[in-house]
Amino acid sequence: MIDVRRFSSLGGADHGWLKARHHFSFASYHDPARMGWGRLRVWNDDEIAPRSGFPPHPHRDMEIVTYVRSGAISHRDNLGNEGRTEAGDVQVMSAGTGIAHAEYNEEDERADIFQIWIEPTRAGLPPSWGARPFPKDDRSGRFVALASGLPEDADALPIRTDGRVLGATLRAGETIEHPLAPGARAYLVPAKGRVEVNGVSLNARDGAAVRDEPSLSVIALEDAELVLVETR
């Protein structure tokens, strides 16, 4: 089963400095049919204006993965962590027992990000933050684990859940065959480009909620950049 959520159908808000689209219910957008997908609770598609951002605010008991699509985002938190994450790279914040952080676009160009929240399977742990580059050439033609709580994904940023976030890039005409674990739920969004997933067409920034499929066959109809979340 593949349920397509077209970008035009997503909830959203325009705060001037922030234009947000929500794949699932979030803040003032509420749709009882879109409360999450497995342990995936939030997938926000955010456009952040230059020299603006989210002021300090708290989180608790959530794995928050930020995938930067263009521009860069800068992080600061009350643990003393600071970092700047550029396009194609990833940062992870495990909110654990509680953390306060700020996210700013300190650049002169707009920052476009996916912010992904996944419910943890291990609670009561201290908060943490980390980031690292994931060169697009390293994920050309294949899915690479960007953040994961699965033991086989040793090179990914760690998250405290039985799931993972993967990324891939495809040239037009290329195909990826990707197996899914029995009972897994997956959510796929092309950050760029048009693709076909098991025969279903997706445009850039559309979402595909996948269940009861043994594998994904992804064909790039044009050069594409993909982000995939799997939860168990």
Is residue 177 within 8 Å of 217, Cβ to Cβ? yes
> What is d(CA 219, CA 167) in angstroms, rounded to the nearest whole number?
15
Is residue 216 within 8 Å of 186, Cβ to Cβ? yes
Tell me the residue type at 58.
P
> What is d(CA 82, CA 103) in angstroms, rounded to the nearest whole number?
10
- Name 172's Cβ contacts closer than 8 Å, sequence gap at least 6: 193, 220, 221, 222, 223, 224
Binding site residues for Fe cation, as ranges? 57, 59, 101, 103
Q: What's the gap between Cα 1 and its chain centre? A: 21
Tell me the residue type at 163.
G
- Name 218's Cβ contacts closer than 8 Å, sequence gap at least 6: 168, 170, 175, 176, 178, 188, 195, 196, 197, 226
Q: In the numeric block, which tokens belong to residue 218?
A: 């992804």
> What is d(CA 144, CA 141) in angstroms, rounded to the nearest whole number?
10
Is residue 220 within 8 Å of 188, Cβ to Cβ? no
> What is d(CA 133, CA 38) in angstroms, rounded to the nearest whole number?
27
Binding site residues, as ranges? 57, 59, 101, 103
